[in-house]
Amino acid sequence: MQNARRSFLKGAAGALGAGLWAGVDLEAYPQNTNTNSKPSALKITDLRIATITRAPMTCPLIRIDTNQGIYGLGEVRDGASKNYALMLKSRLLNENPCNVDKLFRKIKQFGGPARQGGGVCGVEMALWDLAGKAYNVPVYQMLGGRFRDRIRCYADTTESHDPVEYGRRLKARRDQGFTWLKMDLGIDLMENDPGCITRPGGESVGQGGRTQHMFTGIELTPKGLARMGEYVAAVREQVGYDIPLSADHFGHIGLNSCIRLGKEMEKYNLAWLEDMIPWQYTDLLKKISDAVDIPILTGEDIYLKEPFMELCRAHAVDIIHPDLATSGGILETKKIGDGAQEYGVAMAMHFAGSPISCMANVHCAAATENFLVMENHSVDVPWWNDLVDGVEKPIVNKGFITVPDKPGLGITLNEEVVKQHLLEPGYFEPTPQWNVDRTNDRLWS
């Protein structure tokens, strides 16, 4: 029997050599796998943090180490405590990082809207980076493959109270190669212009107020609406009407002022109006979107797919805008995009952070069919590109990012540059104090 088996294998090998494997160097095939890693035996041994700063941002970078020497990189969203990630360590130790979805379901209860989801999302990024390195494939491939080779970006652009100057700055973005623009359009532009805004005495028109829009008593007057229109008209005069131009940061104005402002903006063909009111108010967002013939967008503070689906089912928004470092990470954001597509809703992506989170967004955008465009706040930071190696430079090139083909997220850290921009002492120091956290995490009895 053994001789018969050997004879069969020998014959099969000969047939393959003459056919399927003809002209192929069989010795090269082990190069297609990561021989330094045995994925089924991978175990997480540590979770470490190195926090960098770019005023006003702080970016806690995550490194998840394993028993086989490979590690994964992630990032906690700007403004979130690094402790949001460190508290998850005891729940991850000795787990196989390749079981990304299993581990995400184990830790997702410790995230929440806005910055509260930063730890869970950063860990999820690092797990995907590890799994990709273990199996020697890029993250987008593990998500089902890519729909595009380049990711369209728009860039944050410093506001000016002079619309002509602001238009010039946005036109400069277009000259850099950007094919989508976004402007800030806040009522702070008219703070000292009498007759444009009505507000209760002492109520600030600044962007930092903690009172939600519907409860401030701040409204735009007809004069104020006209001034906002004149401002956008001057910007459009500079950049033209043939390029998408989105708007954000309107201020905490009442619902009816949102509707009136939206109608005033229709003639300028804006690509979207962003976060006009807080995302939690589905019915009120639908009231705006039903009244205004400009796309309404929200989502950068939403955690997990369920609230996004509520907005999409109600057609309360035309475009969703998850921040992958808040929304649940790479796979959850792809699920959000795919779910939105079922309702005919497109997906833009909010991003502000280091190249680590940037590349996590890039892989997700590449793998999500209804993706439109991704934000970037760092195109003017001279050392931002130098934080990582392994990808094309500049990372944002003429308004696009090339999707990397290397394993995992496709990047390695430039340790020298990262160390130059540390917010606090310590570069991925061990964190044994977070090894044990005894709690009952089960959500059901």
pLDDT in tens, 362-393: 999 999 999 999 999 999 999 999 999 999 99
pLDDT for position 73: 98
Query: Residue 7's pLDDT band (boundaries 50, 70, 90)?
Result: very low
Residue 304 C-alpha from the chain's centroid: 13
pLDDT for position 20: 38
Q: Domains, the chain, ranges and CATH? A: 39-137+427-434 (3.30.390.10), 142-408 (3.20.20.120)
Query: Residue 439's pLDDT band (boundaries 50, 70, 90)?
Result: confident
pLDDT in tens, 195-246: 999 999 877 776 557 899 999 999 999 999 999 999 999 999 999 999 999 9
Task: Reply yes or no on whether the pLDDT at 35 is more than 60.
Answer: no
User: What is the pTM assigned to this prediction?
Assistant: 0.90
Task: Reply yes or no on whether the pLDDT at 5 is more than 50.
Answer: no
Tokens at 121, concatenated: 């999302």
Task: Reply yes or no on whether the pLDDT at 67 is more than 80.
Answer: yes
The per-residue pLDDT of the chain, averaged, comes to 91
Beta strands in 406-445 (DSSP E): 412-413
Q: Which residues contact 320 (CB under 8 A, 6 or more apart)?
A: 297, 298, 299, 308, 311, 312, 336, 337, 340, 345, 346, 347, 348
pLDDT in tens, 150-163: 999 999 899 999 99
- Round the CA-based radius of gyration of the chain to a whole number and report it: 25
The torsion defined by the Cα of 138, 143, 144 and 145, in degrees rounded to 10, comes to -40
Please answer whether residues 297 and 261 qualify as being in contact, where contact means their C-beta atoms are separated by less than 8 angstroms.
no
Task: Reply yes or no on whether the pLDDT at 269 is more than 80.
Answer: yes
Distances (CA, A) of 388 to 50, 69, 73, 356, 369: 14, 19, 11, 8, 27
